[in-house]
Amino acid sequence: MMNVLLVEPYYGRKYPPLGLMKIATWHKRRGDTVQYVRANSFIDVDFKPHIIYVTSLFTWDLPVVVSTVNTFKHRFPNAKIKIGGVGASAMPEYVKEKTGIVPHIGVLKNIDDVPPDYTISEETKKLDSSLVFTSRGCPHKCDYCIVKTLEPKQYIIKGWAKSIDSSKKKTVLFDNNILYSPDEHVKKVFRVLGESGKPFDINSGFDVFLFKKHHAKGIAELPIKPIRFAFDKKSQEKALLRSVAQCVDAGIDPDKIRVFVLYNFNDTPEDARYRADKVISLGCKPFAMRYRPLDDWKKDYIAPQWKPQDVVNFAYYYNMPVVWNTMSYDKFVNERKENVFEKMRHQLNNKLPKEQQILDVK
């Protein structure tokens, strides 16, 4: 038996760490004692751990991760420390240089088939969603995406259904490209989730290149919301138009469709605006997704074709339907210069996407 400490550094995130939750189940099944902490500095634990797992998420949070690792490394010099997660997989050399520990890159396949432990903290006990991966992999090797590093091969997670907790109100699927899976698997996922009678969210959305009529017909009968696609580059336009049309033909209201719009990459503000405006013209809602390099922990990256003001204005405008429904982009930019939008923002009780709350370029 071992004492296992699961550490999540204290950075911003929406969902608790699914990887650590699965590791907790894996160790508990072997009779090990497991404790979870969320901290950016040492927190007392009631045992001396034999092994410490430290997770990571965004690359810009890696300095916090490094500080956390070194704190626990100093406090428990005899414990074996393992570092993993998205951020560490994206910048393993940085992590090694700062901690002396070589991080694990990608997913831990031996825990993929294990259901998460929803009891590791008060937060996970109160969580209203089941957190699930049913498959891994994506056929696209996009320069702006980390999936090719995390999940280089496609496979089905055999025990995925065991991750669904019937006591939870809804289910969130994190498959990075569920339509890359065999059609039989996709149909099974739709059937299982449909039979649960509870709403579910396919968080990463559907691949417009792989989306077909039968997918639209299938999801039209399911409590899935919102339906998500991506329009990251103009080469996706034809496929996006076809996918949205298929949804509409199946009886799906386009207002229920959200479309990720990548910006601040190799595009220009004009290109990004074209894509976002096209999404709006289809009756869907855009969601501006800012690109930041996968090999840099600095958060303030501005692409060569962009200016800081452009980056912030684009996110403000296109992530706020109340704004793009009432004024043009140019008028918005002018009024923001006069501080009109800041007053509007205050009136909306600061209900803005996280990025908009953090950035403020005048």
The enclosing H or E element of 333 equals helix 329-337
Contact 256, 220 (CB under 8 A): no
pLDDT at residue number 335: 83
**Confidence band for 19, pLDDT divided at 50, 70 and 90:** very high
Sequence-separated (6 or more) residues with CB below 8 Å from residue 216: 243, 246, 247, 249, 250, 252
The residue-averaged pLDDT of 80-90 equals: 98
What is the CATH code of the structural domain delimited by 130-358?
3.20.20
Average pLDDT over residues 254-279: 97
pLDDT averaged over every residue in the chain: 92
Q: What is the pLDDT of residue 328?
A: 94
- Grade residue 361 by pLDDT with cuts at 50, 70 and 90: very low
User: Cis (ω within 30 of 0) for the bond into 226?
Assistant: yes
Residue 208, pLDDT above cutoff 50: yes
- Identify the pLDDT of residue 279: 98
How distant is the alpha carbon of residue 326 from its chain centre?
Answer: 30
Radius of gyration of the chain (CA): 22
- Listed residue (92, 93, 78) closest to 2, CA to CA: 78
Per-residue pLDDT tens over the stretch 315-324: 999 999 999 9
pLDDT (mean) for 132-151: 96
Banded model confidence at residue 357, pLDDT cuts 50, 70, 90: very low
356 vs 181: which has the higher pLDDT: 181
- Give the pLDDT score at 339: 65
pTM above 0.85, yes or no: yes
Tell whether the model's pLDDT for residue 358 goes beyond 90. Answer: no
* pLDDT, position 225: 83
- The domain defined by 3-99 folds into Rossmann fold (3.40.50)
Tokens 């700062």 correspond to 98
The segment(s) of the chain belonging to CATH 3.40.50.280 are: 3-99
